[in-house]
Amino acid sequence: MAERGGAGRLARRLSLKISVAGVRGIVGESLTPQLVTSYAAAFGTYCGAGPVLIGSDTRPSREMVKHAAIAGLLSVGCTPVDVGIVPVPALQFHVRKTGAFGAICISASHNPIEWNALKFIGPDGIVLRPNQSEELTDLYHQGFYPRVTAAEIAETRLDHTVLSAHREAVIALIDAEHVRRRGFRIVADCTNGAASLAMPEFLRALGCEVIELNTDMDEPFPRNPEPLPENIGGLCTLVRESGADMGIALDADADRLALVNELGEPLGEDCTIALAARHYLKRRKSPIVVNVSTSRIVDDVAAEQGCAVYRTRVGEIHVVKKMIEVGAEIGGEHNGGVILREVNPCRDSFVGMALLLESLAEEGRTLSELRGLLPHYATVKAKVECLPREVAPYLRALQQLFAGEQMDTTDGLTVLWPDRWLQARPSNTEPVLRITAEAPTEHEAEVLVREALDCIKPTL
């Protein structure tokens, strides 16, 4: 459904977003070199003097942001390690592999190209937890950093081993020879992002014939980098025309994975975690952790295997934290993120690809047949530009509208019925309120979303 709210009325006022997802903003407007340098100095202070990895996606602003971040790290005695353009899961894996003190990922993920961001990763390869993010923000606001003298400034190092190390670790998860025998033909759409080199190499290492789409890292994003069905029409067409077994679309930093079946039909991002979980839980019983915005398909998949489902607030760190707490080996998010702790405590599109390909190889099915084994729910989404002070009144209005129904306030407000749900929650990455409904049919989901939107008409 269409975006609601005054066109662009918050664009300038709220273009800087600080949350558990990091610090992101519009370059030249709210994300300035001065801010990046100061935040990097704060992060270096938080990590301590030692090696800190820096990787990025392909946004044209990456060089400015990277060098500003390097300056901040050097100023407090850290040794920046420039790993170049890499998928964020590969960067997170490399932190633990090399014993780095932390990492900064320069990527605004699914945001448009004018945005960029700093994503802060701790020495355990996990994005900073909420309390750690608060500590970092406090350091930034205080502005008192242990600056080093000219003689103490380190040199920036280079490391070009990130992609191969991560690739080998993920492939070791599965029966690679079984996958190679299937000889899949796959269209790989990398949106000219961070996985433009890594994804084709990964698939070819698994014996796939790869048809590359949008894999030129020197070109701008050819589409909205968020791999939603409405943004990957070119991939769907090429899958049909080429007779491919499937299409795979990633976002700019390659933590999210969307699938297109052999008929050229997008499956929707919720199917990614559901299919990965179905395959994994068949061979290893484990609780599964997802966020409150994830489809009930996951509950159905887990129930088949007798496994418990836990739900958290939206945000990778919340899911990972809960996974550690309950001993879950697998988790993920509604946006196509798959987390497998034995490889990486983060959303990793390569892990998702590996589990999917192994599942297809073992079962001898097509992707459409595999999807047909899952229940079907229709999802409708909308978003509304929203000031922080407007969130609480709107949620109260929704509570009044649906008084008497079952409600969950883990993240925003979710109204629950036996066969459907409606959710309104503030975004972690944009100045908007996200409205989502899931129901047996698209019409029923649309009705719920329209009811929610009608609640705030007087404020628009």
Q: CB-side exposure of 325: number of CA atoms within 13 Å?
A: 10
Catalytic residues, which ones? 109
- CA angle 416-418-422, nearest 5°? 30
User: What CA–CA distance (Å, rounded) separates 397 from 458?
Assistant: 11
* Domains and their CATH numbers in the chain: 17-160 (3.40.120.10), 165-372 (3.40.120.10), 378-459 (3.30.310.50)
pLDDT at residue 58, as a whole number: 97
Phi, then psi, of 217 in degrees rounded to 5: -70, -10
pLDDT at residue 11, as a whole number: 47
User: What CA–CA distance (Å, rounded) separates 191 from 338?
Assistant: 19
C-alpha R_g of the chain: 22
**Cβ-based neighbours of 69, under 8 Å, separated by 6 or more:** 36, 37, 39, 40, 54, 80, 104, 106, 118
**Cβ-based neighbours of 421, under 8 Å, separated by 6 or more:** 296, 414, 415, 437, 438
Structure tokens at 56: 């990025």
**Cβ-based neighbours of 6, under 8 Å, separated by 6 or more:** 385, 460
Q: What is the DSSP letter of 27?
A: B
**Cβ-based neighbours of 399, under 8 Å, separated by 6 or more:** 407, 413
pLDDT at residue 457, as a whole number: 66
Asked whether the CA dihedral 338, 343, 345, 346 is positive or negative, the reply is: negative
pLDDT, tens only, 72-109: 999 999 999 999 999 999 999 999 999 999 999 999 98
Q: Cβ atoms within 10 A of the Cβ of 157, count? A: 12
User: What CA–CA distance (Å, rounded) separates 280 from 283?
Assistant: 6
pLDDT, tens only, 149-159: 999 999 999 99
pLDDT in tens, the chain (460 residues): 544 444 344 444 458 888 877 899 999 999 999 999 999 999 999 999 999 999 999 999 999 999 999 999 999 999 999 999 999 999 999 999 999 999 999 999 888 899 999 999 999 999 999 999 999 999 999 998 999 999 999 999 999 999 999 999 999 999 999 999 999 999 999 999 999 999 999 999 999 999 999 999 999 999 999 999 999 999 999 999 999 999 999 999 999 999 999 999 999 889 999 999 999 999 999 999 999 999 999 999 999 999 999 999 999 999 999 999 999 999 999 989 999 999 999 999 999 999 999 999 999 999 999 999 999 999 999 999 888 888 999 999 999 999 999 999 999 999 999 999 999 999 887 888 999 999 999 999 999 999 999 987 655 4
pLDDT at residue 1, as a whole number: 55
Closest by alpha carbon to 163, among 108, 109, 97, 91? 91
